[in-house]
A = this chain, B = another copy of it.
Amino acid sequence: MTQGIFCRHDEAALNDLGGGTARRVLAWNAALMAVEVSFERGAVGAAHTHPHTQCSYVLSGRFRYTVEGESVDMAPGDSIIVPAGAVHGTECLAQGVLLDVFTPAREDFVSQA
């Protein structure tokens, strides 16, 4: 495939981030990047910020998601947009996986892979 960028799930590397979390970078180009992040129950995505706009979609599990100090509990199928520059983080309430999509791509994730 020369135009589309295809990523088969089981060919994407799983990177253990420690603390009960792991990341799998999926299909991406400069404009858009899809990333799965798996969490064990109780694992935390510490509050942080970046200039990329982010969408998080709950594939499985349950998450308490915090943006600029306000929290919401999320279940499968729920989604959230984190505006560019907003401080955000999450706590996993039940083991599961988030699909995070970024614009533009998180080039820092690729250089680490």
The answer to whether B99 and A68 have CB atoms under 8 Å apart is no
Q: Does A23 contact B (CB under 8 A)?
A: no
User: Of A10, A79, A83, A88, which is in contact with the most chain B CB atoms at under 10 Å from its CB?
Assistant: A79
Known contacts A55-B32, A75-B9; A65/B27 CB under 8 A: no
Judged by a CB distance under 8 angstroms, whether A3 is at the interface is yes
For the complex, give the distance between the alpha carbons of A75 and B9 in Å.
Answer: 8
The A interface is mostly helix, strand or loop, or mixed, namely: strand
Using Cβ atoms and an 8 Å threshold, which residues of chain B touch A77?
9-10, 36
Taking the complex as formed, is A22 at the interface, i.e. its CB lies under 8 A from any CB of chain B?
no
A101 is contacted by which of B65, B68, B74, B101 (Cβ under 8 Å)? B101
Contact A67 B1 (CB under 8 A): yes
A67 neighbours in B (Cβ, 8 Å): 1, 3-4
